[in-house]
Every structure is written in C-alpha cells, then in structure tokens.
Amino acid sequence: MKSITMNTNVLKFVDQSVSLCKPDKVVWIDGSKELYDSLLAEALKTGEFIKLNQELLPDCYLHRSAVNDVARVEGRTFICCEQKDDAGPTNNWMAPAEAYSKLEGIFDGCMKGRTMYVIPYSMGKVGTPFAKIGIEITDSIYVVLSMRIMTRVGKEILDSLGDSNDFVRGLHSKAELDEEKRYICHFPQDNAIWSVNSGYGGNVLLGKKCFALRIASCLARDEGWLAEHMLILGVTKPDGKTRYICAAFPSACGKTNLAMLIPPEGYRRKGYKIETVGDDIAWIRPGKDGSLYAVNPENGFFGVAPGTNSKSNPNALATTKKDTIFTNVVLNTDDNTVWWEGLGEAPKHAVNWKGQPWTAESGEKGAHPNSRFTAPTVNCPCLSDKFATGEGVKISAFIFGGRRAKTVPLVYQSRSWQHGVFVGSVMASETTAAATGAVGVLRRDPMAMLPFCGYNMSDYFRHWLDMGKKLTNAPKIFNVNWFRTDENGKFIWPGFGDNLRVLDWIIDRCEDAIDARETAIGYVPYAKDINLEGTDVSAETLEGLLEVDKKQWQAEAESIEEHYKKFGDRLPKELREELAGLKDRVAD
Ligand code: GTP
Ligand code: SPV
Ligand code: MN
C-alpha cells in the first residue's frame, strides 16, 4: 500500500523499521472506516477478536491476551539514557547502544509473514498547544483497533505534522510473545519507544504510559510543564461554579472511579454535579495567570473491569455499552455478552479469561483481576465539555492517595506547596494486579509515578518544587485514603460516590471557606465538617478515620527515611527538611 505522507522523517522511520522487521506488507492507518472494517473482519476470522451480542453491545468485541501476558511488566521496562544516574534508582536502566543492539536482534525479521501497520496518532487535541504527535508501528490488529479508541488516529495527524521531525517513534511487535525476550524500552534522547514480545495494553498501546508519561515526563521537565498519572474531574457546586481537581492514585487504586463519581442523593438534590475530563493521565501547563491548566491527552478509557457495576461506577458501565473492546473478561455464552467479578450474578454458561469453560462454583476467578475495557471517551455520560475543546482546565487542588490499611487518615491537607511535594514523594500503596508481581505489598510510589517517571526521580521532585515557585496561584495539595480497614480487614469508608463528601471539604479548604485542625502531618478536617447525611458512617467512626496516631507516624517517618536513602545526595534538600520537620512534630 502507498504511504500517505511526504514527510521524509516519517518515511525514513518506516523504511528503517521495514528493513529490520521484514514484514510481508505495510499498511498505513489513514483513519478510514473501510480500513478499520477490513482489519476487524480479519481479527474476527483469526479469532483475535470475538464478536459480542450486537443488539445489547453494538460494535463491542472480546479479546483475550496470552495467559503469560496480562499486565505491565515493570521488571522488563527500561529507561535507556546515556548515564545510569539519569534514569535514577527507581528505574531499570540500559545504555541506549546496548538496548538498541539487543532489541534489534529480537526485532530482526519478526514480521516475516505478517503485516506492518503504521499508526499516526496525536496525544491531545490536534491544533491545541498541548498536542503532541506519535507514530506507532506494530504487527498487531488489536493494537491498531485499540489505538483508534485511545488516541486520535489518521491521515489528518500527518497533515498536521507537515514536514516536521517532532514526533515520538514507537516500534512494537508481538514477536513470539516470549516472556524471556519481552522488553519495553524508552529512549528519551531519541523520543523513541521499542516494545517487543507483549500484546498487553500498557506495554503496547505506546501512546499511553510509554509516551504520555515516560517520554512526556522528560519533555515536560525540559519544557516547564508536568506529565502526571492523574485523573481530572470537575465538581460543580450549587453556586454553579465548576472547580477542577487532579488526583494521582497508583494503578487500580480508584482514578477512573473518582473521575466518574455520581454524587450521593442529598448532594444531587442540592445541585452538585461531577464531570469527567480524564481518568488516567494529565498534561499540565502553567498559564499566564500563574495557575496550572490540565488536559487529558487520551481519547479513550482503558479501565479496570472487575468491580465496575451499576452501583460502584454506573458511568463507566454505560461508557462500555458500545464501541468497546473487552480484554480478558468472562464470555457469557448464553447471550454472548461479557461478565466480570463484581458485576452481579455470574452467568450459568460461560468461558473464562483463558478461553476455558467456567462456572462460579469452580471457586476460580472468571475474569482476570486486571481485565480491562477500552472505550471511547465520548461514550462517557458525564464527560466534560472541556474535553472536546481540548483547552486546559484550571486546577484548584492536587490530590495524592493510595491503599493504606492503617496510619493514613481519610484526608489531610499539606502545609505548603513544598510540604505537598513531600507528601507526594512519600506516597505508598499496597500493590495491585495492574502490574505483574505480588499483590497487597506496601510500596512507596511517589506521585503514583514510580513505574512511569522517565528520568531520575530526585530530579522529578526538584522539577515539582521548581514549578511551585513559578506559580502565583498554585493548586493546594491534599492526600486521601479511601482504603483504611477495620479489625476484620473490611474497608471502613464507603468510598465511591461518597468520596464527594471529602472533595467538598477539599474545595472549601481551597477557597479558605472552612477551618481545619492542625496536626503533625498537616491539616485534618474537624469531624463536623465532613457531611455524613445519608451514610451509615457514625460520627465516632469518622473520628477514627481522621485520627493521626503519633506512634504509627513515628514508624512511618522511619520508613520514609529508608525510602529516601536510595535517592542519596540527589534528593532535594527541601524534602529532607520536610522529613526532619515531620519527625520533630511526631516525636513524643
Ligand atoms: P488504572 O487504570 O490501573 O490506573 O486504575 P485506576 O486508578 O483508574 O483504578 P479504578 O478506578 O479502576 O479502581 C480500581 C479498583 O479499586 C476497582 O476494583 C474499584 O472497585 C476499587 N475502588 C475504586 N474506588 C474505590 C473506593 O472509593 N473505595 C474502595 N473500597 N474501592 C475503590
Ligand atoms: C495502569 O496500570 O496504571 C493503567 C493500565 O492505567 S496500563 O495501561 O496497563 O498502564
Ligand atoms: Mn493508570
């Protein structure tokens, strides 16, 4: 097929990839429906896609990944810059020359007998100051059809690129799906990403974590903005004014849910509204007025399926009713629809995520815990108008948070921007199924960026500190924890829609409308200021959720000290001062 651009930089990139991968043919993804339809037909023929009930789920398909390929592989993800120190202590590092030569060996001839697809795409709305272009080369139809949902794809992207060389070069091949030869390599100095031997979303939809976070975090450092693992939501209060909030929680810790929350009945009656701008990634730039403005650079949601239901997240469920690709969920063979744990009664006749006959009585999970839906943003019933315009929304608050069974209260406000950066830098969470490895182990995940920061995390903290200094109207910084558990291991706080009760307090704090209790760790709400009307949470339980236990925080400070050790001298001294301050305040 003929190329659809005259851009010599793009043509050269494609030529080089063809020489290396040796595909039988090359197909340029021009964005036309005819082309997508023919690829879909092929995927249905080979079994890569399964057509679902088109009356109940129009244009929805099921895909199953290989059983050894169901999540991001952090151990095989590399930052390939010249100096190991520039990748820092939290990233795997390989020298660029070594990485290129190792991966060239694997890519060599990997597309023989296959078709190479060239996907021009944009992160951010084309023509806005936020937008950045990528080209992903792949041999996977799943990737093509998923990128169509997750990003803006087509010939118009190449038209907008003109003859520029300013695009991120992404090369992906499923190759043999061999775990031992699986590599996700990032080359910040070349704006390049090479991913091989995986077919799982986070490893292969290169616009997402690879570009929009790992590569973009490097661009953001150099250009004076922030690329963050954050949702963006708007809260409209009864006064009619919308305030926007960005929140960073680690993978599978509640971003999509918070971004789409439905206000509790009492709040709805009073006129509260929630709108979603983004559920996973925020690109944030300072405006002339000294405030920060955020956009969601994606065009779709790649959301966790298990736990999504008409009570926990009806907006997400509605979003997946058409034009959606489901990965690794259960197939209900009675009516050819999908199911996952938490959706309600299990189907009588079904096939599990591995493609085997399955019933709930087996005691095994039917859907993989990291099974996902890939759905267009426009399907979301509560999507913000600001998404379509692509203009940044002014951010009032940043929220950090994670899964903490103990120690961390429901919410607290940092003492200053610098203290807020400290709070983000020491964030910790119990691990989830979103990455391979043990689940439920407490690990420090600064700003939810541990697996996604494309450079030395000490420099990233420095960048955050510096950004704050340039802002005259910086967002206030908070920390939340929806996941405190009781003595039976049950979550104490109802969460989901009820999290608006906490957002409400946060907004009041941003507007200096309410007092708070100063504690050793920051400002905590007076229990009377969290509205519990319509919940079954007692005032006493809330007191417990807001408690700051000095003994626990002494241990926490010790653990933070350990965490900071690995950064050595490169850690900004301001953060060490913040730790010293915390230690002082929690001392007996
Ligand atoms: P990634 O897409 O991996 O970045 O995940 P995410 O941060 O968007 O997480 P998501 O909203 O998909 O939630 C992950 C899991 O956390 C789901 O099983 C949810 O049901 C659960 N969850 C989300 N919000 C809450 C909450 O407020 N309380 C409790 N207890 N669980 C929650
Ligand atoms: C996450 O793990 O944070 C996700 C899913 O949002 S993935 O695209 O796999 O990174
Ligand atoms: Mn995520």
Q: What is the pLDDT along the chain (588 residues), one digit of tens a residue?
A: 678 999 999 999 999 999 999 999 999 999 999 999 999 999 999 999 999 999 999 999 999 999 999 999 999 999 999 999 999 999 999 999 999 999 999 999 999 999 999 999 999 999 999 999 999 999 999 999 999 999 999 999 999 999 999 999 999 999 999 999 999 999 999 999 999 999 999 999 999 999 999 999 999 999 999 999 999 999 999 999 999 999 999 999 999 999 999 999 999 999 999 999 999 999 999 999 999 999 999 999 999 999 999 999 999 999 999 999 999 999 999 999 999 999 999 999 999 999 999 999 999 999 999 999 999 999 999 999 999 999 999 999 999 999 999 999 999 999 999 999 999 999 999 999 999 999 989 999 999 999 999 999 999 999 999 999 999 999 999 999 999 999 999 999 999 999 999 999 999 999 999 999 999 999 999 999 999 999 999 999 999 999 999 999 999 999 999 999 999 999 999 999 999 999 999 998
Type and span of the H or E element at 160: helix 155-161
Atom of ligand 1 nearest to the CA of 495: 27
- Choose which residue among 172, 208, 249, 368 to substitute to test ligand 2 binding: the one with the highest number of ligand atoms within 8 A of its C-beta: 208
Q: Is 382 a catalytic residue?
A: no
Whether ligand 1 lies within 6 angstroms of the CB of 396 is answered as no
Ligand 2 atom 10, closest CA: 202
CA-nearest of 574, 414, 544 to 480 is 414
pLDDT at position 378 is 98
Between the CA of 301 and the centroid of ligand 3 the distance, in Å, is 10
Catalytic residue among 110, 185, 210, 253: 253
Ligand 1 atom 13, closest CA: 254
Between the CA of 208 and the centroid of ligand 3 the distance, in Å, is 9
Cα gap 145→148, rounded to integer Å: 5
pLDDT at position 303 is 98
Beta-bridge partners for 269: none
Beta-bridge partners for 301: 375
Q: What's the token pair of residue 28?
A: 């340029």
Cα gap 167→119, rounded to integer Å: 12
Atom of ligand 1 nearest to the CA of 491: 30
pLDDT at position 1 is 60
Ligand 1 atom 18, closest CA: 307
Pocket lining for ligand 2, CB < 6 angstroms:
72, 201-202, 208-209, 251, 280, 302, 434
Question: What's the full length of the chain, in residues?
Answer: 588
pLDDT at position 268 is 98
pTM: 0.98
Contacts of 239 (CB under 8 A, 6+ apart): none
Between the CA of 175 and the centroid of ligand 1 the distance, in Å, is 32
Contacts of 156 (CB under 8 A, 6+ apart): 31, 126
Contacts of 85 (CB under 8 A, 6+ apart): 456, 570
Contacts of 41 (CB under 8 A, 6+ apart): none
CA 40 to chain centroid, in Å, comes to: 27
**CB atoms closer than 10 angstroms to residue 47:** 10
Cα gap 115→151, rounded to integer Å: 21
